[in-house]
Amino acid sequence: MNHQDALKDKFSAKQAHLGVIGLGYVGLPLAVSYAKAGFRVIGIERSEAKVAALKRGESYVIDVPAAEVAGMLASGNLTVTSDASVLAEVDSVNICVPTPLSKTRDPDISYIQDAVEMIGPRLHPGMLIILESTTYPGTTEEVILPILTRGGLEAGKDFFLAFSPERVDPGNPTFQTTNIPKVVGGITPACTEVASALYNQVMDQVVPVTSARVAETVKLLENTFRSVNIGLVNEIALMCNYMDIDVWEVIDAAATKPFGYMPFYPGPGLGGHCIPIDPFYLSWKAKLAGSEARFIELAGQINSSMPEHVVRKVTALLNLQRKPVNGSRLLVVGVAYKGGIDDTRESPALDIMELLKQAGADVWWYDPQVESLPAGLDLAKLTVWSPKHLQEFDLAVIVTAHPGVPHPQLLEHCPAVVDTRNALKGFTSPNLFKL
């Protein structure tokens, strides 16, 4: 029996030993999903603190309950380690590591390269490698494949290599790892077939495409679509601001059209690991190919300018109160990049707070989901939400609207409020500015 059929049979019988490199917002839910499906899974994570937390049965990912981690560990289906040598034992490995941008907005694939270099010496015949980290088209074929073929093994025959874009939406109660259609494209048709065979054991729907390049571009299109449309509605919001039109009312009315339109909403800027970053992977690759991604670049400019717009709103509202920004005590409500989660990656709140701090404001923050700010941003946290404490601020700015936060109380107890999320829909006040 050839390696292709043997590996497919292992997947079908749930006898394959699976590995996942990177136990973050993508890797941990995937590892737990594999384990719940009946596979033996080894998670490899470089952070010793995360490994220790998982071994205690704790979870640091909002979509993975601690009880599920503890249960899978107790069953023996899931183990976690920081020791890469275990990769020699696995039949398949998913790479789920970060792919940030450099300061010049060039792709940083060093984490991917490090992960592949870990696999390389331990690659063996009959092994499947799947990259899930978002990256530019061509990464799987141009970067990963040469590393894995150094020892003479042939992709599509001796081992199998594919790309499958992660589509995680942290905090989404409806769509999670297993019920989001899983796109997969291999270096060869055999690679696509083997990777699809694995995902078919766990995912509700698998969508094979003709190549890894297509699969890589699928993810970038999805998030570029969102970035461009958010950029458009942010520009509309800026226009409506100058024309004294409520952009939120405009959007709600437009959304009643049952065809040819879907609502996107303005905000203080883009956050998370995907939308602020992925479009620039596509524009970077387009430039290398001699093409120009003007829509992508313009949307990025508009979206990245929104924190400054929010600060201008804060300044204007304080001016009406005859107060300068310098010396004012300001409360930023919500610092996660979206409501209902604890993730502050690329959150516009961080930029807004930094800008206000640079302007001389005494900046505080409140967020029931977030325990602390990233290193380098040392600001006071409001830990108790009460009328007494809210009255101590000159202005509050709602940057992220978490469910359960009584935002209307801000209007009752703060002299002024800037609402960037329409959390105070239906409320009017001369001391309330919306985006």
At 293 the pLDDT is 84
Asked whether residue 275 falls in the same domain as residue 190, the answer is: no
Cβ atoms 112, 105 nearer than 8 A: no
Identify the domain boundary among 210, 228, 255: 210
Query: 3-state class of 187 per DSSP?
Result: coil
pLDDT of residue 90: 97
For residues 244 and 337, membership in a common domain is answered with yes
User: What would the mean pLDDT of 373-387 be, rounded to a whole number?
Assistant: 93
Neighbours of 305 (CB within 10 A): 14
Q: In terms of domains, do 377 and 244 share one?
A: yes
Q: Is the pLDDT of residue 281 over 90?
A: no
221 in any annotated domain:
no
Rounded mean pLDDT, 205-210: 98
Q: Which of 41-55, 162-176, 404-418 has the lowest mean pLDDT?
A: 162-176
pLDDT, tens digit, 9 for 90 and up, residues 135-151: 999 999 999 999 999 99
Question: pLDDT tens for residues 119-131?
Answer: 999 999 999 999 9
Catalytic residue among 96, 191, 240, 274: 274
State the DSSP string of 283-340: HHHHHHTT---HHHHHHHHHHHHHHHHHHHHHHHHHHHTT--STT-EEEEE--SSSTT
The identity of residue 76, as a single letter, is G
* Same structural domain, 306 and 421: yes
Q: Are residues 199 and 294 in the same domain?
A: no
- 126 with 270, same domain? no
DSSP structural state of residue 122? G
Any alpha helices (H) in 391-435, and if so which ranges? 408-413
Whether residues 245 and 372 share a domain: the answer is yes
pLDDT tens per residue across span 185-194: 999 999 999 9
Give the separation between CA 99 and CA 319, rounded to whole angstroms: 42
User: For 101, which DSSP code?
Assistant: B
pLDDT band with cut points at 50, 70 and 90 for residue 284: confident
Q: Is 217 part of any domain?
A: no
Q: Would you say residue 411 has pLDDT above 70?
A: yes
Residue 218 lies in a domain: no
Residues 290 and 349 in one domain: yes
Task: State how beta strands 127-131 and 329-333 pair.
Answer: unpaired
| Distance set, CA 397 to CA 213, 368, 388, 419, 426 (Å) | 42, 15, 18, 6, 17
Are 19 and 161 within one domain? yes
Q: What is the pTM of this model?
A: 0.91
Confidence bin at 286 (pLDDT 50/70/90)? confident
| Residue 215 is assigned to a structural domain of this protein | no
Does 430 map to a domain?
yes
State the CATH number of the domain containing residue 356: 3.40.50.720
Structural domain span for residue 122: 3-210
Query: For the segment 38-58, what is each residue's pLDDT rounded down to a tens digit?
Result: 999 999 999 999 999 999 999
pLDDT higher than threshold 90 for residue 313: yes
For the CA atoms of the chain, what is the radius of gyration? 24
Beta-carbon contacts of 139 under 8 Å, excluding residues fewer than 6 positions away, are 109, 112, 131, 163, 216
Predicted local confidence at residue 104, as pLDDT: 67
Q: Are residues 384 and 292 in the same domain?
A: yes
- How far is the CA of 129 from the CAs of 140, 184, 223, in angstroms? 10, 12, 24
What is the rounded average pLDDT of the residues 345-369?
96
Q: Is 346:362 a contact under the CB 8 Å cutoff?
A: no
The domain boundary, picked from 193, 210, 227, lies at: 210
The answer on 278 and 356 residing in a single domain is yes
Judge if 167 and 245 occupy the same domain. Answer: no
Question: What percentage of the chain has pLDDT greater than the value 70?
Answer: 99
Q: Of 192, 210, 228, which residue is a domain's last?
A: 210
Q: Which residues pair with 352 in a beta bridge?
A: none
Q: What is the mean pLDDT of residues 422-435?
A: 93
Of 369, 358, 357, 370, the residue nearest 330 (C-alpha):
357
The total number of structural domains that make up the chain:
2
- Convert the pLDDT of each residue in 83-111 to its tens digit: 999 999 999 999 999 998 776 677 889 99
Does some domain include residue 423? yes
* 412 within domain boundaries: yes
pLDDT at 234 over 70: yes
Q: Is 274 a catalytic residue?
A: yes
8 Å CB contact between 131 and 144: yes
- The verdict on residue 234 lying in a domain is no
Percent of the chain with pLDDT over 90: 86
